[in-house]
Chains A and B, each alone.
Chain A
Amino acid sequence: MADVLDLTTLDRSLAQQVTPGRWEEMLSCIQCGTCSASCPAAHAMDVSPRRMWRMVNLGLVDEIMHSKTMWLCSLCYQCQVRCPRGIPLTETITRLKEMAMERGLVRSRASAAFYRSFAYVMRHYGRMREMEFMMRFILSSNPLGALGYIKLGPILFLRGKVKLELPTFGKGRLDRLFERVAELEGRK
């Protein structure tokens, strides 16, 4: 006889962690595949959304962290609004990303560079500065990637789409707020 999965002994902590207060909904996934069929990036994912939700419910943290699926999510919210169980799927992907960032397990160099560069600029200036963000992103993801902007870069510049602003150093505009948040989340 094939092995039988004993559902009562499964590790539910992952589901609890990534769907705060709503993990019972997460467990109600019926594996219908509506999420995968609705996802504009599913074709490029190594693990389909439907499979990933199963893995969440089975507590397979390592397998999920190892997959690139979450880094291909564009936050279109299509799976979330269509899930017949009403599971907040897109929000849950964001929690998985947070978990991966915290553990330093980001399986996409470009994504890690994107989030870190953006967060730095946001914290330091309080508002986006596209030029500095782009420089930081390109330098920390793939310096050769700058070549991809050889044509578009100058056009953006000439159209006034990006402006030159000198970087500032020292204390950041939202340092205190970021520090306070870290403190409240027990990360400091």
Chain B
Amino acid sequence: MANAKGSAFLLAGGTDLLVRMKSGAIDPELIVDIKRIPATQAITKTASGFKIGAGVPCAQLGRDAALVKAWPGVVEAANLIGSDQVQGRCTVAGNLCNASPAADSVPAMVAARAKAAIVGAGGRRSVAVEKVVTGPGRTSLEKGEFIEAIVLPTPAPKSGDAYLRFTPRTEMDIAVCSAAVNLTLGPKGVVTAARVVLGAVAPTVVLVPAAAKAIIGSTLDDDALANLAAACEAACAPIDDKRGTVEFRTEVAGVLARRAAKLAYERAGGK
């Protein structure tokens, strides 16, 4: 691929690539189908977590009982992408590399501390998912580099994650804004660690450390949740368009983060 003369594109599920080819936005000289590399086709449970091959369609994530149990938020985010037809093709690595600010699986992967296993002519490297996208449609991948797998850690004991999005329709719609939360509980249901991530409110997904700080040390009481929502609102820099105004996206981001935190808390075993 690195030696291709014209434009070369990697094909995973093709659910973004083929739409862009159809619209004439791109006219690839070379298309490389990553799914023909057998190692990209499997979800493997390793000592340190899960390795999701870059060719694995999102529907397969939902069928993997161990993955659903470990990372329900990541799986629910991946399974929100498109219809059953799209689910049968689309991948989380493709969702990431397409670099849409509204990509559903990305906030959940960032909250889960997922890493992208990248391969290129220069060898292999492992990069935090939040470092891959640099702006709408842009990634930090070098020419000839591709993501071989998305690697999720083993969740900490007593932890839980959740992802919620707002869309006008329940299915087949792009997130107006979204929130993912991953948290860990200590004794007496006190939050000891948290990651709060927002989608579709800025050029890339945003990790909001201030929101995490607002709930760490709390039992997710109303004050902590109000502080979490306020920190999320402060982190929003959304666009204004027909799908949602700045004010609307900002407010809903706070509400979604609050609800996602509650859901993650329940999943972690908190009451």
A associates with B: no
